[in-house]
């Protein structure tokens, strides 16, 4: 007799191997990209900052600290000066300077707050220790508060612009690619025509036109009055959304058309047609889930363009309305108030926020593209 052999034991993993899902594979691939993960946390921080902007400071973005008096001062030489700029970390406290020979010629009401002035005019003792973490502008308004609220504008333009572009481009491109023939030819020639027009120039013209309409029909009623009033309440963002959305969908439409053309002759689409599936079911059930991934990646990579477009339009005065905090508007105001020479923090703070957010979206888009591409998984 032969000795009884030991029973073979199988590990649980070999009997029931873990099944991998496309989403799980994509998440594992995304986590391997360290820059994309860091970019994700940076974007999340900006979103959190924008959503909780009112909790970051006790004053509004249009308000100076309580007790701060903005006054003009005319010195004996006839030069008019206004309130100064607090440097980052500087506190709003009393500062007497009797060394100026002309100080005795000024009354208390004439003395303003600027470097070398006779007196810093903040009479409220509770506010004398107010510190400007990132400095202030010439009116004593906290620069950090304006930067935080400016994130709301940039992120609103980013997400609304990309959503409008995705929706319009997806519908237009899917119709063109699915039906083909003369419909495809006509629709794509229209897209080619729009491609030949400089997009930024058209957006500038549209913004000028919208502003003329707003001033002309400011007291209008009905739908026109409602739209103009809504644009005012949004600080000029509504017309900016319309201008960006009407032109940003062109690239998305071409990408969607190309994806539909590559899938519509596949076996699973032909099988759906053979069993009598309607066009609507084929489009929404069979084609849309397969083409939406590349479109989402493309829109993510396009978001920095929307942010820079808004910043540029606000910089030249065609973006948000005055009084609405925007990084582009802040950079424009800083350059007009001497930010390139004396008050550099006014340039550095919004510029750094703008560059950091756009770089984060670029790295996040690259990581998302690699994660959703099956050919790159496992590399």
In a domain, 257, yes or no: yes
Please compute the mean of the pLDDT values over residues 317-327 and round it to a whole number.
80
pLDDT given at position 297: 87
pLDDT above 70 as % of the chain: 70
Distance CA 334, CA 343 (A): 8
In a domain, 310, yes or no: yes
| Same structural domain, 134 and 147 | no
Beta strands in the chain (DSSP E): 73-74, 80-81, 90-92, 130-132
Let me know if 350 is exposed, middle or buried by CB neighbors in 10 A (0-12, 13-18, 19+): buried
| Average pLDDT of every residue of the chain | 75
The 8-class DSSP code of residue 127 comes to G
| Same structural domain, 151 and 122 | no
| Same structural domain, 132 and 206 | no
Distance CA 291, CA 277 (A): 19
Q: What are phi and psi of 81, to 5 degrees?
A: -125, 150
CATH code of 184's domain: 1.10.3720.10
Please compute the mean of the pLDDT values over residues 107-119 and round it to a whole number.
46
CB 239 within 8 A of CB 215: no
| Same structural domain, 243 and 181 | yes
- As separate numbers, helices (DSSP H) first and strands (DSSP E) second, the chain gives 14, 4
Residue 316: pLDDT band with limits 50, 70, 90: confident
Closest CA to 256 of 287, 286, 277, 281: 287
Distance CA 166, CA 164 (A): 5
256-299 pLDDT, tens digit each: 999 999 888 888 888 888 888 888 888 888 888 888 888 888 88
Rg over CA atoms, the chain: 29
pLDDT given at position 296: 87
| Same structural domain, 279 and 309 | yes
* Structure-derived torsion over alpha carbons of residues 154, 157, 160, 161, reported in degrees to the nearest 10: -130
pLDDT given at position 282: 87
Identify the domain boundary among 108, 123, 140: 140
In a domain, 193, yes or no: yes
| CA diameter of the chain | 123
Please compute the mean of the pLDDT values over residues 95-99 and round it to a whole number.
41
Range of the domain at 79: 66-140
| Same structural domain, 130 and 268 | no
pLDDT given at position 170: 92
| Same structural domain, 159 and 290 | yes
> b/e per residue, 203-233, with b = 16+ CB within 10 A?
bbebbeebbebbeeeeeeeeeeeebbeebee
| Same structural domain, 123 and 150 | no
Closest CA to 69 of 54, 82, 52: 82
pLDDT given at position 38: 95
In a domain, 44, yes or no: no
| Same structural domain, 255 and 313 | yes
| Same structural domain, 244 and 260 | yes
Residue 179: left (phi > 0), alpha (psi -120 to 50), or beta? alpha
Identify the domain boundary among 140, 166, 184: 140
Identify the domain boundary among 140, 169, 200: 140
| Same structural domain, 73 and 221 | no
In a domain, 304, yes or no: yes
pLDDT given at position 44: 94
In a domain, 40, yes or no: no
> b/e per residue, 143-157, with b = 16+ CB within 10 A?
bbbbbbbbbbbbbbb
Domain count, the chain: 2
Distance CA 236, CA 28 (A): 41
| Same structural domain, 80 and 179 | no
């Amino acid at each position: 007799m032969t000795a009884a052999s030991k029973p073979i034991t199988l590990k649980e993993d070999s009997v029931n191997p873990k099944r991998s899902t496309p989403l799980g594979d994509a998440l594992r691939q995304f986590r391997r990209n360290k820059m994309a993960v860091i970019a994700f946390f940076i974007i999340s921080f900006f979103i959190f900052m924008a959503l909780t902007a009112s909790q970051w400071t006790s004053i509004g973005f249009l308000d100076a600290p309580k007790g701060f008096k903005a006054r003009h001062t005319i010195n004996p030489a006839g030069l008019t000066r206004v309130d100064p700029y607090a440097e980052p970390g500087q506190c709003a406290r009393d500062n007497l300077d009797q060394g100026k020979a002309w100080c005795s010629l000024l009354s208390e009401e004439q003395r303003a707050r600027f470097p070398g002035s006779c007196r810093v005019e903040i009479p409220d003792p509770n506010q004398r220790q107010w510190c400007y973490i990132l400095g202030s502008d010439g009116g004593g308004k906290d620069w950090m508060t304006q930067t935080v609220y400016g994130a709301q504008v940039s992120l609103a333009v980013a997400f609304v612009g990309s959503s409008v572009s995705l929706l319009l481009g997806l519908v237009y491109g899917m119709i063109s690619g699915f039906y083909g023939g003369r419909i495809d030819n006509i629709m794509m020639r229209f897209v080619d025509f729009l491609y030949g027009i400089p997009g930024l120039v058209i957006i500038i013209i549209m913004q000028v036109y919208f502003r003329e309409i707003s001033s002309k029909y400011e007291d209008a009623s009905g739908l026109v009055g409602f739209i103009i009033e809504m644009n005012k309440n949004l600080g000029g963002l509504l017309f900016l959304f319309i201008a960006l959305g009407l032109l940003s969908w062109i690239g998305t439409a071409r990408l969607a058309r190309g994806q539909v053309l590559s899938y519509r002759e596949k076996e699973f689409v032909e099988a759906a047609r053979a069993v009598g599936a309607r066009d609507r079911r084929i489009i929404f059930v069979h084609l849309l889930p397969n083409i939406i991934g590349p479109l989402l990646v493309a829109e993510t990579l396009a978001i920095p363009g929307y942010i820079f477009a808004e910043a540029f339009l606000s910089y030249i005065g065609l973006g948000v309305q005055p009084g609405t905090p925007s990084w582009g508007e802040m950079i424009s105001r800083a350059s007009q108030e001497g930010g390139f020479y004396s008050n550099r923090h006014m340039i550095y703070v919004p510029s750094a926020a703008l560059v950091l957010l756009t770089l984060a979206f670029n790295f996040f888009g690259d990581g998302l593209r690699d994660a959703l591409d099956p050919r790159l998984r496992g590399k």
